[in-house]
Amino acid sequence: MKFLDVGFTFPVVLNENHALITGADFSRNNLQLFPEAEYTSLYSTNLKLGMASTWSDKWSTTIVLLPKIASDYKNISGDDFYLGGFALLKLKKNENLKYRFGIYASQEAFGLFTTPILGWYYLSPNKRFEMDMSLPISADVSYKLGITTVGMDYFGIGRSYKVHYENLPTLYADLSSLEFAGYLQFNTLEESVLLRAKLGYSSNNYEMYAEGEKMDLGVSAFSFGDDRTQLNPSLNGGIFFKLEAIYRFHIKKKSEVEEPVSN
Domain range for 251: 2-262
Cβ contact 226:121 at 8 Å: no
Contacts of residue 216, defined as CB under 8 A and 6 or more positions apart, other chains included, come to 111, 224, 225, 226
Task: State the pLDDT confidence band at 236, using cuts at 50, 70 and 90.
Answer: confident
Distance in angstroms between the alpha carbons of the first and the last residue of the chain: 23
Q: How far apart are CA 70 and CA 81, in angstroms?
A: 7
pLDDT at 221: 63
Mean pLDDT value of segment 106-111: 93
Q: How far apart are CA 250 and CA 16, in angstroms?
A: 15
Cis peptide leading into residue 260 (ω within 30°): no
Q: How far apart are CA 205 and CA 247, in angstroms?
A: 30
Q: Is the confidence at residue 170, as pLDDT, over 60?
A: yes
Cβ contact 154:139 at 8 Å: yes
Residues β-bridged to residue 140: 132, 153
Counted domains in the chain: 1
Task: Summarize pLDDT for 171-212 with one digit per residue, the tens.
Answer: 999 998 899 999 999 999 888 899 999 999 998 889 999 998
Q: In 189-234, at which residue ranges do the beta strands (DSSP E only) sit?
A: 193-202, 205-210, 217-219, 222-224
Q: How far apart are CA 184 and CA 143, in angstroms?
A: 10
Selected residue with higher pLDDT from 252 and 242: 242
pLDDT above 70 coverage of the chain, percent: 94
Cβ contact 118:88 at 8 Å: no
Residue 189 φ then ψ, to 5°: 50, 55
CB burial of residue 70 (10 Å; 0-12, 13-18, 19+) = buried
98 membership: H or E segment, kind and range: strand 97-108
Cβ contact 248:192 at 8 Å: yes
Give the residue among 138, 132, 151 at the shortest CA–CA distance from 259. 132
**The whole model's pTM is what?**
0.86
Q: How far apart are CA 45 and CA 196, in angstroms?
A: 23
The residue type at 159: R
Number of neighbouring beta carbons within 10 Å of residue 244 = 13
Task: Summarize pLDDT for 109-158 with one digit per residue, the tens.
Answer: 999 999 999 999 999 999 999 999 999 999 999 999 989 999 999 998 88
